[in-house]
Amino acid sequence: MSAPAFDLVLRRARVATASDTFEADIGIVDGRIAQLGVGLAEGRREIDAAGRVVTPGGVDAHCHLDQPMAPPVRMADDFDTGTRAAACGGTTTVIPFAAQEKGQSLRAAVADYHHRAEGKAHVDYAFHLIVSDPTPAVLNEELPALIAEGYTSFKIYMTYDDLKLDDGQILDVLSVARQHGAMAMIHAENADCIEWLTKKLEAAGRTAPRFHAHARPMLVEREATHRAIALAELVDVPILIVHVSGREAVEQIRWARAHGLKVFAETCPQYLFLTAADLGIDDSYLGAKCVCSPPPRDASNQQVIWDGLNDGLFTVFSSDHAPFKYDAPEGKKPGGEEVAFRHIPNGIPGIETRLPLLYSEGVLAGRMTLNRFVELTSTNPAKAYGLHPRKGTIAVGSDADLVVWDEREFVLTNAQLHHAVDYTPYEGQTLRAWPGLTLARGEVVWDGSTFQARAGRGRFLRCDAPSLLPRR
Ligand code: DUC
Ligand code: ZN
Ligand code: ZN
C-alpha cells in the first residue's frame, strides 16, 4: 500500500478567499497547501469540514505584545499568552512592534524584542519597527539595513512625549520609507492640542476616565491626519494611517485619494463596537477599561467606519491589541491607584475577538461579504507588510494557516478568552460564530474548545517589500 498523499486533508470545505468562494478539499504537506480540488487522495489525517466556511488564518498587523513600558505599567500579554489568544481567535500571524526608546539604537530594540519572542510564540510573527529617535545613524544606516533584512514597515507617532516626532523628523523618516520601499504607518493625533485640552480639563477637576475622550476629540485626529497626508505628499511616498476612528479622519483620507495620493487606512473593532459612552457616562473608574487612543466615538461614526470597510476606504482591519489589566498596579490602576485619565495606560485587548466580532456582526449580520472579510483581516494585511502569498490566502504553496468556522450563537465572557487580561471590553456581547478549528502551518493549535499549546512553534517571518507599494 502506498503512503498517504497528504499529511492532512480538510474535506469538502467552503473555501473563502479575498476573491472567491468555492467547495474544495485542501491537501496539506509539510505545513503548506499542496493541492486544492474535489476528491483529493487520502491524507494521513482527515478532517470533515462539509459545508463549513474555511478562511485563511487571520493576520493581525497591529497588536502590542510585551512592549516595554515605563514602570509600574506593564503589558499583560507576552508572546506566549498573546499568541495563544490569537490562535484561539483564528489569528495565525501577528505583527507587533519593536519599539525604539529615545536614545536607544534601533538594532538594540530589535534584538531585545527577538529575545522577548524567542521560545514563546505559538503562531508565526513578524515585527514592525517604531522609530522614536531618528538620528543620522538611524536614518542613514540602521533603518535601511533593517528594511533590507526583512523589517519592511515602521510606525511613526505624532503624539506621546516619549515617541512623537516633529514634522521635520517625519519628513526625514518618510524619505527613508520612499527610498527603501518600506511601509510607513502613522499614528495621527495632534500632541499639542491633546496636552492643551488635558491641562484645561485637569484645571477644572475633570480627570475621570471619560474625559480621555474629551481630550482627544475628532478634530485632533483630523488635523494630524491632514498633516500626515501633506507630509507624505511632499515626500511623494505612500503611507498607512492606523486606527482611524471616524468621519473627520475618513474625510481627509477620501480627499487625499481623490487627489491621487496613495493613502492606505486601518481601522479596529473598537471603532465599530464601542462608543465614548463606554468610557463612562459618569465619573466611574470602570471606564478606564475602554481608554484607548484615538478614543471610540459615537453611533454615527461607527456607521462611517462600516461604510469605509465596505467601500474600499479601509485596507486593513487590525485589533490594536494593547493589553493592560484593569485591576492591577501594573495596569489601568498604575501603582494600585485610580489615577487621572492622563496616567491611564492607553489600549484595550482584542487580539482574540477581532475575527469573531467582524465575522458575526459583519458577515453573518449581512453588513459585509465573506470575501471582503477575508481581504480586510488576512489578505490585505499580508500584502501591506510583505507576507503575501505565504500568508493571507488559501492557495497552492501558501502556508496551511486555516480557520474552520463554527456558526453558533453565544454570549461572550472574559472567562472564555485566553489572553492574560482580566477583562474584555466586549463582555456580554452576543456573538454568532467562533473558530471551531485553527490550523497554523498545518498543525491544530485550537480545536474549538482546547488550545493545543507548544510555545516556540511560532517562527519569525522576514517580510518582503510590501506588495501594495509601487516598485521603484
Ligand atoms: N496607539 C496604538 O497604536 N496602540 C495603543 C495606544 C495608542 O495610542
Ligand atoms: Zn497608535
Ligand atoms: Zn497600537
pLDDT for 470: 82
**How far does the centroid of ligand 1 lie from the alpha carbon of residue 64, in Å?**
8
Q: Which atom of ligand 1 is nearest to the CA of 243?
A: 3
pLDDT digits (tens, 9 = 90+) for 125-153: 999 999 999 999 999 999 999 999 999 99
pLDDT for 2: 81
Residue having the nearest C-alpha atom to atom 5 of ligand 1 = 347
- The CB of 81 under 6 Å from ligand 1? The reply is no
pLDDT digits (tens, 9 = 90+) for 32-75: 999 999 999 999 999 999 999 999 999 999 999 999 999 999 99
- In the structure, what pLDDT confidence band is assigned to residue 182 with cuts at 50, 70 and 90? very high
- In the structure, what pLDDT confidence band is assigned to residue 102 with cuts at 50, 70 and 90? very high
Residue carrying the nine cell digits 465614548: 276
**How far does the centroid of ligand 3 lie from the alpha carbon of residue 321, in Å?**
7
User: Phi and psi for 415 in degrees, rounded to 5?
Assistant: -60, -25
Ligand having the closest approach to the CA of 187: 2
pLDDT for 1: 63
- The CB of 65 under 6 Å from ligand 1? The reply is no
pLDDT digits (tens, 9 = 90+) for 230-253: 999 999 999 999 999 999 999 999
- The CB of 320 under 6 Å from ligand 1? The reply is yes
- The CB of 187 under 6 Å from ligand 1? The reply is yes
For the chain, percent of residues with pLDDT exceeding 90: 98
Ligand having the closest approach to the CA of 322: 1
CATH number for the domain whose boundaries are 58-384: 3.20.20.140
pLDDT digits (tens, 9 = 90+) for 269-299: 999 999 999 999 999 999 999 999 999 999 9
pLDDT digits (tens, 9 = 90+) for 428-449: 999 999 999 999 999 999 999 9
Q: Which atom of ligand 1 is nearest to the CA of 62?
A: 3
Mean pLDDT on 155-177: 98
Cβ–Cβ < 8 Å for 281, 210: yes
Mean pLDDT on 102-121: 98
Enumerate residues with CB within 5 Å of ligand 2 (an ion): 187
Residue having the nearest C-alpha atom to atom 7 of ligand 1 = 293
Cβ–Cβ < 8 Å for 146, 113: no
Residue having the nearest C-alpha atom to atom 3 of ligand 1 = 320
Residue having the nearest C-alpha atom to atom 1 of ligand 1 = 293
Mean pLDDT on 77-82: 98
**How far does the centroid of ligand 2 lie from the alpha carbon of residue 44, in Å?**
45
- In the structure, what pLDDT confidence band is assigned to residue 339 with cuts at 50, 70 and 90? very high
pLDDT for 471: 75
Number of Cβ within 10 Å of residue 429's Cβ equals 17
Ligand having the closest approach to the CA of 348: 1
pLDDT for 453: 79
Provide the whole-model pTM: 0.98
- The CB of 82 under 6 Å from ligand 1? The reply is no
- The CB of 270 under 6 Å from ligand 1? The reply is no
- The CB of 225 under 6 Å from ligand 1? The reply is no
User: Phi and psi for 449 in degrees, rounded to 5?
Assistant: -140, -25
Q: How far apart are the C-alpha atoms of 113 and 79, rounded to whole Å?
A: 10
- The CB of 318 under 6 Å from ligand 1? The reply is no
- The CB of 350 under 6 Å from ligand 1? The reply is no
235 to each of 132, 229, 420, how far by Cα in Å?
Answer: 19, 10, 42
Ligand having the closest approach to the CA of 157: 2
Q: Name the E strands within 17-135.
A: 21-29, 32-37, 43-48, 53-56, 58-60, 91-94, 97-99, 124-125, 128-130
